[in-house]
Structure 1
Amino acid sequence: MTSEDRGTPATPTGPAWFMANEVVAFVVELAALAALAWWGFATGDSVAARLLLGIGAPVVAAVVWGMFAAPRARFRPPLVGVLLVKAVVLGCGVYAVHAVGHSGAAVFFGVVVVVNTGLAETFRRRAVSAA
């Protein structure tokens, strides 16, 4: 019987917290892609460069993420590799927000990325060790 079956709230390591953090992780990933697109469309000197960067940067990030960091990634490197890919892709998203002139938002986004990723890995480790 789980805590939810007894009518008590879930603990910070329970399934409700895990699922909420997974939803935040998905939103953070989409926000990083959107930030890369925003940066690309704002960065190029010409219309062609803006289109190439605005479309290309998020596409490259999504492909790299899908190959190495997604739950169903084609190639599954060790945890260090997955975290490195996440750090690069999400870090580029944070930098993109800063590069378009929103330093405060970039700091906030960076803190959300670090806290969310740390919680996600903690929750996953506990789920694996409990199984």
Structure 2
Amino acid sequence: MNERSQQQSLPKIGPNDIVRFLLELFAFVSLGVWGFLAFPLPWPGVLVGLGAPALAILVWALFVSPKAVFHLDVFGKALVEIAVFSAAALGWWALGQPVVAIVFAVVAAVSGILHGRKELAG
């Protein structure tokens, strides 16, 4: 395989793709933090603290990831993404951190809109 065809097969990663990846990681960590802090330890705090991010990761892997098992259209992926990001933002809100919740929700919404426009255009 020559260098030109190898460059053409590589996916283009833009700044919004990096922001989206960081948003995903932040959402998963946020759900874990919410689970551990919102519920009494050891039970159900440990169960929710580990289960909430695990469920979100599973749903993301099944429906939204680039190698998703179930292929959805742009709107279906957007609904799953909105559900996961909203859950993370609501978790921060429930923990008494409305600034974190609002900033996360706004950044996620803007990033999602930019990504959706890109997906629909091409």
- Decide: shared fold, TM above 0.5: yes
Q: Hey, what does 1:34 align to over in structure 2?
A: 29
Secondary structure of the 2:83 match is helix
Confirm or deny that 1:121 pairs with 2:92: no
Secondary structure of the 2:25 match is helix
Q: CA deviation at 1:45?
A: 2.3
Gaps of 5+ in 2: 1-11
1:104-115 to 2 correspondences below 5 Å: 104-115=99-110
Gaps of 5+ in 1: 1-14
Matched residues, number: 111
TM-score (norm 2): 0.85
Is the 8 Å Cα contact of residues 74 and 119 (structure 2) preserved in structure 1?
no
Aligned-CA RMSD value: 1.3
Secondary structure of the 1:76 match is coil
Confirm or deny that 1:93 pairs with 2:63: no
Q: Deviations over 1:33-71 (max 9, x none)?
A: 011000000122231211101100000000001000111
Identical counterparts, % of pairs: 31
Q: CA deviation at 1:101?
A: 1.0
Runs of 4+ in 1 over 4 A off after TM superposition: none
1:6-85 to 2 correspondences below 5 Å: 19-85=14-80
TM-score (norm 1): 0.80
